Chain A
Amino acid sequence: MTGTHLVVFLVDGRPVEAREGSNLLDALQACGIRIPRLCHDPRVAPTGSCGLCVVSRRDHDDELVLACESRVEAGMEVDTSTPAVAAARARRLAVLLPTHALECPTCERHGDCRLEDLVHLLGALDHGPMPLLPRPPREESWPLIVHNPARCVACGLCERLCAEAMGVGAIELVESGSGSRVVTVSGDALSCEFCGQCVDACPVAALAARPDATGVPAWQREVTSTTCSGCSCGCQLGVESHDGELIRVRGVDASDPDCGNLCVRGRYAWDLLRAPGRLASPLMRRGGRLVEATWDEALAATAQALRAARAQRESVAAIGSSRLTDEDAYVLQRFMRSVVGSPHVDAGPDAGIRALVDGMGAAAGVPASTVSFGDLDAADVVLVLRGDVGRSHPMVKNLFVQRAARGRRVFEAYATAGGVTGRRDGHLQVAPGGEEALLLWLARDALRRRAWVPGDGANRPGFTQWRTALEAIDEDELAAAAGVAPATLREVGDDLAASASLAIVVVTGRGIPGDEAAVARRACELLAVLGRAGRPGSGVLVLGAKTNAQGVLAAGLHPRMLPGFRDAAAASDRASCALRWGRSVAAGPGWSHREAMLRAAAGEVGVLFVAGQDPVGTWPRGLKARDGVEGARFVVVLDSFLTETARLADVVLPVATGLEREGDVTSADGVRRTMRRCVRPPGDLPSDRQVLVELARRLGTRIPLGEQLADELKRELGNGPGAFGGVTFGAVEPIVPVGSPRGLLLDAAPRLVHASSMTRHSATLLGLRPLVSVRLSTHDARALGLEDGETARVVAGSREVLRRVVVDPAVPRGIVVSGWYGVGGGAGALYVDDALPVFVEIRKSP
């Protein structure tokens, strides 16, 4: 309905520009013209219930119309503040007051309430006193949210946001007339995604997040916007703080990419910043024990260890993380390559990085996503592989909810369980790791249909061998490996063939079975045979598990890549870095994290740096992290918590995290977004890069910080990952038939509330979902004779963890859900190689 072209219309006699057919209230708001409103939000369809947004149509005999219900027309003339408009608004507002619990001075939203503001703005009380007919308050406490019906103005925003924007529909307005009230749909205490959008949207204090009641009035709070580090979506957080202490997190109106919609992690995880286990001062190993030390002592010891390693010609290796900011990652690799003189830097076993480098980089020539979040909205067909974004990347789920509202489908293929929202429409339950076979089947199907443009694929490198190898595989065997019936696959193939644009989303995260790099590469190949590769609106979006996979790669945190995606093995690329950094650059390629650990275990590593990772606590066993950390002569850990790796370290250097950090990150869509310091870290902790720059200084080298670093980084990153350069086809291996698995598929993939190791420290999130459970279907629980609440052993081979049984009808048969990261050892401990699915037995605990 909304046109794309801009038209001019008159507002209070002045010309204003907006898109034709767009919502008039939103358009006025966007031009900075403030129109009172209680019931409208751009994220949901207008209802016109409060009537406050009236404006006058000068071109229609001064008719009063609701702005939220009007659309922009070329040449329309709108007056926003005639006496008739003002009177109508004041009257409409005045009727709300007598039954509203007018307790502003003691209300937690005092100073931050739209009703309160409007009463003053509109002079609603100027019409003379109104009878006061207050209703007695009745508070209802839900988890995380307090509902106070006496303050509700029945605007319906909470209900509409929950249903229309989030696709959840957990709360609703019931009853009629003045009996209208908000209740949970279930009738029980609220049980939902806890995204908190309803609280943000409530214009009054009828819905409040429990932590809101801090006693710090709105006008004394500082509001800083920053980028969430909960996943790679890059949502914008509006952080309210006072005196460096966090008060609460809200969505930022109309922000990119989230439109103000956050998820439970982005909104509620941040009590982890003040968690009891938070490190506030450095630790050093003395007499075999880790004890507190001063910064000077800890840094001196580290510098000493590095000098000793150099003297003894020992290797130094660093494992960073895709959780680091661009600046931190850049300084870490530069510190290693040019100060320490070691090429061994890596970001760890990061599924997002593997999909980008070994998938996208190998197949499309650019280690980056080739479509944006906006394309997910516009593409004809969207194919999501490997996991439910509702669990791992909730912001993308919201985009799909909007797509669904317009009747546009999303095909989702994954082996694990769906999320809270449970959009089962278009979900293909594939065999664990079957996504690659699924893509190959579709590619074969596309070849057969001749829907592909020969010029687009046939002359590409590797095509002929690829095609021959693919056609040598039996089609039904491929379908069997995918775990999907051929008839169903054909339907998907029909849709792909009929579509003009195709966006493929590759979800990554620990505990998702299968090879993410292979899936990304097959996705590129499929696009090529469909003739869609490189077309606008078509491409692959890699959803990294952590905040900044694309950014740390661009910053050079990779054994084969220098900043700006230059080649660490190429002397010329190194020479140009050396010229800018003023020191020689160690010759690459360096060791991968796997090799670094093996070498360390073999006693070849003098100093091992670990920044923002917990290899011992969270890596799959096959990577031998414990052996590596124990085998390295000197281990330095930069982290915010005392991780299992930190417990084995020689020096632990605490750093700022989450809302305390500043710097840039690159989200999954390739857009760089900024993190700003919103909260003061305990003990005024430094950032990772400040620690490294200080270490470099002690070793006699200057690395810039602040503005200078930012400028330098901008130059180093150059023009980003470069343009898509056509698809290179890879090798196709024959299908190895897998025997039928024994036991239940372990689903340790990211969960909505706990998607990373960080949320273990948030008491709020643990209160919602304690990390001690194994969830299984009603059927499996019955078959195993397991009762809700009992403790059971989750056994894989010789390993086992103890978990509490939760019988969950939402879990599909044959799957058990238990987080990778757990309290008292997560299910991640059962994995040897995280690409391989793990099947477990659940045994009664003796």
Chain B
Amino acid sequence: MESVLLRARGVPNSRSIDTYLAAGGWSGFAKALSMTPDAVVQETIESELRGRGGAGFPTGRKWSFVPKDHPGPRYLICNADESEPGTFKDREIIEHDPHMVLEGIAIASYAIRSNTAYIYIRGEFVRWAALLEDAIGEAHRQGWLGRNVKGSGYDLDIWVHRGAGAYICGEETALIESIEGKRGFPRLKPPFPAVVGVFGKPTVVNNVETLACLPHILTKGAKWFASIGRPKNTGTKLYCVSGHVKRPGVYELPMGVTFREIIEGPCGGIREGHTLKAFFPGGSSAPVMRASEVDVRADFDACAEAGTMLGSGGVIVLDDSVDMVETAANLAHFYAHESCGQCTPCREGSDWARDILDRIVAGHGRPADPETLLRICRFASQGMTICPLGDAFSLPISSIVKKFPEEFERHIRAASTVPQKKLPVLPWAGSRPGFGS
């Protein structure tokens, strides 16, 4: 298959605007400027492009929710917060082809009639923030950004806004609060950002990869894009494969390949002497899959049918050396640290899940623990919380408890020989070393 999003990987000097222009870059935006914004929206709807940020929402439809008659500014935000464990595709695009992202932003901004766009980039991505700034400078100098772009009468400015290191700020409403200078607390929806977003104005938040698809949709046409993959799951997709495969990395494949094709194809299979035990299909927030489920197709609808989700496309592969209870504990540490703390089920639930899992790992598990874990997870999911982080921590953990009960039993059986100890008392939360710190 021809590389679309990663076509610049390996090309010398690929980040410069001249290289990009030579490869036909910025012509998608030029085409968009010759169309009406509504026609751009229509083209995107017809391409059946779905958001690559995690939820897979149809991009063109999201744009169409922006009120047409709204007076005053509206905003486009490019979500480059990329903090989902096992996900590193947006960074790859920016590394090789920052102008593709800018062009996508320009097309989307034009489509929703916005004159200001923000790139919200993960705080740790210092290098990639600088690359984007450089590219913005180039595009300004060549007249692709700024006032009256290429004589079209359309103005556009793009600002890079660096985050401060919170996973939750990838969630679109927390991201919006963060841009407004507040603590990243997700907002209740509705109202959706398309109606009330940043600074109270209509706002569309799109992922880097989603936006990077747009120049190609405009130059090659919606039909071309829709012809890749399966109906409703169109286009190419970047799969970030990590874990126990021979060649981890980012691979661009048509939507709808199976996970087996990904793992055994470009990744070269599981490392020598081991077999596949489990994998997370779409970042750590997706329910885990057993080795026997490896023939499921890696697209939005097939994953949903299989009870999991494609999420960000971060495929985390675990072989038979892995202890699933420790895996669950590892996840729980991450989410307990990253829960924003607004909703009780998420704040308290992720905290307990971590403590209980730590206890099992430490050899003090109790027979009732798996049941308690499932209960905690049930309490934090099913729309019990403001944002989906409640689901993001509870679904993978409960899926591990349900799919690998024997591993929990083994830990707990071994623990029964240990005399019952007093429960660990949590150190006061404020001084507790966090995950990764």
- Contacts from A to B (Cβ < 8 Å): 46-51, 64, 66, 69, 88, 91-92, 94-96, 98-99, 127-128, 130-136, 138, 149, 153-154, 156, 173-181
Contacts and interface: CB of A to CB of B under 8 A. Distances in A.
B429 to A, nearest CB: 4
Most buried by B among A64, A69, A135, A138: A135
B339 interface: yes
Contact of B342 (A49, A99, A130): A49
B347 A180 contact: yes
Contacts of B251: none
Contacts of B378: 91
Contact of B344 (A96, A132, A175): A96
B345 A51 contact: yes
16 contacts: A49-B386, A51-B345, A91-B345, A91-B379, A92-B344, A128-B375, A154-B341, A154-B347, A175-B429, A176-B168, A177-B338, A177-B341, A177-B350, A177-B351, A179-B429, A180-B341
Given A127-B375, A179-B432, A180-B341, A51 B385 contact: yes
B352 A133 contact: yes
B151 interface: no
A644 B229 CA distance: 93
Contacts of A149: 428, 430
B337 interface: yes
B215 interface: no
Contacts of A88: 384
Given A175-B341, A176-B340, A177-B429, 17 more contacts: A47-B188, A47-B386, A48-B386, A51-B384, A91-B384, A92-B344, A92-B384, A95-B344, A131-B372, A131-B423, A135-B425, A135-B426, A154-B341, A154-B342, A154-B344, A173-B183, A178-B348
B376 A95 contact: yes
A179 B341 contact: yes
Given A51-B384, A91-B384, A156-B342, A179 B348 contact: no
A159 to B, nearest CB: 10
A149 to B, nearest CB: 8
Interface in B166-184: 166, 168, 183
B110 interface: no
Contacts of A91: 345, 378-379, 384
Contact of B429 (A92, A98, A130, A181): A181
B344 A49 contact: yes
B349 interface: yes
Contact of B351 (A51, A94, A175, A178): A178
B337 A176 contact: yes
B361 interface: no
A247 to B, nearest CB: 31
B6 interface: no
A148 B349 CA distance: 22
Contacts of B426: 99, 133-135
Interface string B409-437: 00000000000000101111110101000
B384 A132 contact: no
Nearest to A93: B344
B336 A177 contact: yes
B185 interface: yes
A116 B375 CA distance: 22
Contacts of A95: 344-345, 348-349, 352, 376, 379-380
A202 to B, nearest CB: 15
A66 B188 contact: yes
B343 A49 contact: yes
Contact of B428 (A50, A96, A136): A136
Contacts of A131: 352, 355-356, 372, 423
A130 B369 CA distance: 10
B153 interface: no
Contacts of A179: 341, 429-430, 432, 434
B188 A181 contact: no
A436 B340 CA distance: 53
Contacts of B188: 46-48, 66, 69
A11 B352 CA distance: 36
B355 A133 contact: yes
B185 A47 contact: yes
A156 B183 CA distance: 13
Contacts of B376: 95
B12 to A, nearest CB: 43
B383 A64 contact: yes
A128 B348 CA distance: 17
Contact of B430 (A46, A98, A99, A175): A175
Contact of A177 (B183, B185, B347, B355): B347
Contacts of A69: 188
Nearest to B355: A133
Nearest to B432: A179
B428 A135 contact: yes
Contacts of A66: 188
B106 to A, nearest CB: 32
Contacts of B425: 133-136
A264 B424 CA distance: 42
A210 B327 CA distance: 47
Interface in B230-244: none
Nearest to A47: B342
Given A99-B348, A176-B168, A94 B379 contact: yes
A178 B343 CA distance: 10
Given A91-B379, A133-B423, A178 B429 contact: yes
Contacts of A64: 383
Contacts of A156: 342
Nearest to B342: A49
A399 to B, nearest CB: 23
Contact of B341 (A92, A130, A178): A178
B385 to A, nearest CB: 7
A591 B392 CA distance: 79
Contacts of B375: 127-128
Contacts of B342: 47, 49, 154, 156
A24 to B, nearest CB: 13
Nearest to A48: B188
A128 B374 CA distance: 13
Contacts of B340: 176-177
Nearest to B185: A47
Contacts of A138: 428
A51 B343 contact: yes
A51 B427 CA distance: 27
A46 B384 CA distance: 16
A676 B168 CA distance: 51
A96 B348 contact: yes
A341 B154 CA distance: 87
A36 B339 CA distance: 24
Nearest to A46: B188
A95 B351 CA distance: 10
Contact of A98 (B185, B338, B348): B348
Contacts of B427: 136
Contacts of A175: 341, 429-430
Contacts of B386: 47-49
Nearest to A63: B383
A134 B352 CA distance: 11
What 5 A-B pairs are tightest by C-beta distance, nearest first?
Answer: A180-B341, A178-B351, A177-B339, A179-B429, A95-B348
Interface in B53-79: none
Nearest to B349: A95
B358 to A, nearest CB: 11
B384 A178 contact: no
Given A69-B188, A178-B336, A130 B384 contact: no
Nearest to B386: A48
A490 to B, nearest CB: 28
Given A91-B384, A92-B379, A136-B425, A181 B430 contact: yes
A162 to B, nearest CB: 15
A737 B399 CA distance: 84
A130 B355 CA distance: 13
Contact of A153 (B344, B349, B355, B434): B344
